[in-house]
Structure 1
């Protein structure tokens, strides 16, 4: 009986349009921790700017801008400088939530701006954790 040829390796399923693969995420000018089920999408940018969205199941949780001139701040709140970034903190009852962060650096991209979408409950908590994980390389 002849030996059977090995089954062909299965290719990874194709990514949805705009979704960044692991190699593309690794090449970005920032680090980000994406929990299971979350994906990073690249949106429309400009010649010197890029915009990314963090999504799960079609819902956007956070946005990230890299370029020379962000629209920081988006939210009203207390601005706190710590860990190499300026963060906008808002109070919701007894909780303080970091709604956005701005990193400024002398090399391109000069600004990395991260902000949360208007979410509530567990989705807001997840978005805040993801935004907190962003750090320039």
Structure 2
């Protein structure tokens, strides 16, 4: 739907500053050219997107109750997280990870967007790099 005549246009999303990223309840390795954007979350939750040149590679939720799992696949528990792993030819791809902890945010959920080839590989590496603080 188009905005009503005379209504202000929605502001373009702005990437989080290095200081804002450092203040998040998780660490993430963002390769050169990637930025983190905050989206709309529910009360007491936050949603972030990892983007490069306007393309979203991964999403991150922090809050009390995520929508995990998003993807169908084998759930594997390792390294303090539950991951959903799916076959991709002769290899396996970790499509999402859920961290649960007793303090807020109780859940940190990171998942890949539906991507192919090298973009999916980069998205998977970024999601694998996420760790709660």
Question: How far has the Cα of 1:95 moved from its partner?
Answer: 1.0
Q: Over alpha carbons, which structure has the higher Rg? A: 1
Take 1:103 and 1:79, find their aligned partners in 2: how far apart are those partners?
13
SS at match of 2:13: coil
What stretches of structure 1 move > 2 A for 4+ residues in a row?
A: none
1, 4, 20: which is aligned to 2:16?
20
Query: What TM-score do the two structures reach when normalised by structure 2?
Result: 0.90
* 2:49 is the alignment partner of 1:59: no
Residue equivalent to 2:4: none
* 2:91 is the alignment partner of 1:95: yes
Residue equivalent to 1:4: none
CA RMSD in angstroms comes to 0.8
Q: Deviations over 1:111-137 (max 9, x none)?
A: 000000000010000000000000000
Unaligned runs of 5+ in 1: 1-15
Conservation of the 8 A alpha-carbon contact between 1:80 and 1:87: yes
Take 1:25 and 1:43, find their aligned partners in 2: how far apart are those partners?
14
Conservation of the 8 A alpha-carbon contact between 1:89 and 1:96: yes
Take 1:36 and 1:51, find their aligned partners in 2: how far apart are those partners?
21
Residue equivalent to 1:131: 127
Residue equivalent to 2:75: 79
Take 1:78 and 1:98, find their aligned partners in 2: how far apart are those partners?
9
Unaligned runs of 5+ in 2: 1-11
Number of aligned positions between the proteins = 122
Query: What TM-score do the two structures reach when normalised by structure 1?
Result: 0.87
44, 56, 81: which is aligned to 1:48?
44
